[in-house]
Amino acid sequence: MFSDDALLAEIPRLRRYARGLTGDATRADDLVQDTLERALLKGRLWRPGNLRAWLLTMMHNVFVNQYRASGTMDFRPPEDLPEVAVRPQQTDAIELRELERALQQLSPEQREVLLLVTLEDMSYEDTAHILGIPIGTVMSRLSRARDRLRQVLAGQSAAPDYLKVVK
């Protein structure tokens, strides 16, 4: 069993990954909480090793279950995203918002792969292990995710959504 401190130390990274997956602060923390509870419940099954990868595997399972159960974690077309006028105070907040909107236009499967590799700096092998898919699938999803993100962000920078809203 891991220590409470070891688990607490992973929370910031779990929150960041969950935020990328869900695109919403509250849902992200719900996902983290469910993941932590599952981890504590299954803690006896954990063998000393990579705690972070193990927790990310838990989070993947919780995410997939929720997304299957509710159907609402799926791809959301841009017109369904909340149209909230953004006050241009902090450029990094705007940048994050733009990224979140762009990420939500990827499929959940593409988002997982992209975030594990890019944000979590997981190896392709670990990513395949966490998601329970072959490494070839990791690589092909990564190509689709990156091309899609490029396409979406290129479109957004030509006509940023937040400017349209404020106008």
Residue 104 near residue 76 (C-beta atoms within 8 A): yes
CB of 124 to another protein, least distance (A): 8
Least Cβ distance, residue 106 to another protein (angstroms)? 11
**Which span (44-52, 53-61, 75-83, 145-153) binds another protein, by CB under 8 A?**
145-153
Residue number, 27 or 38, with CB nearest to another protein:
38
Distance CA 8, CA 95 (A): 28
State the burial class of residue 21 (Cβ atoms within 10 Å of its Cβ: 0-12, 13-18, 19+): buried
Closest approach of Cβ 160 to another protein, in Å?
14
Which phi and psi angles does 66 have, rounded to 5°?
Answer: -65, -40
Question: Site mask, another protein, residues 73-92, x = CB under 8 A?
Answer: -------------------x
Q: Which of 53, 64, 99, 133 binds another protein (CB under 8 A)?
A: 99
The answer to whether the CB of 102 falls within 8 A of the CB of 147 is no
The contacts of residue 58 (CB under 8 Å, 6+ apart) are 35, 38, 39, 42
Neighbouring C-beta atoms of residue 152, cutoff 10 Å: 19
Per-residue DSSP letters for 133-152? S-HHHHHHHHHHHHHHHHHH
Q: Which of 165, 161, 116 is nearest to 142 (CA)?
A: 116
Say whether residue 1 binds another protein (CB under 8 A).
no
Compute how many residues bind another protein; rule: CB under 8 A: 39
> Applying CB under 8 A, which of residues 55, 73, 106, 115 lies at the interface with another protein?
115
119 touching another protein, by CB under 8 A: yes
Residues that bind another protein (CB under 8 A): 4, 7-8, 11-13, 15-16, 19-20, 29, 32-33, 36-38, 40-41, 69, 92, 95-96, 99, 114-115, 117-119, 123-124, 139, 142-143, 146-147, 149-150, 153-154
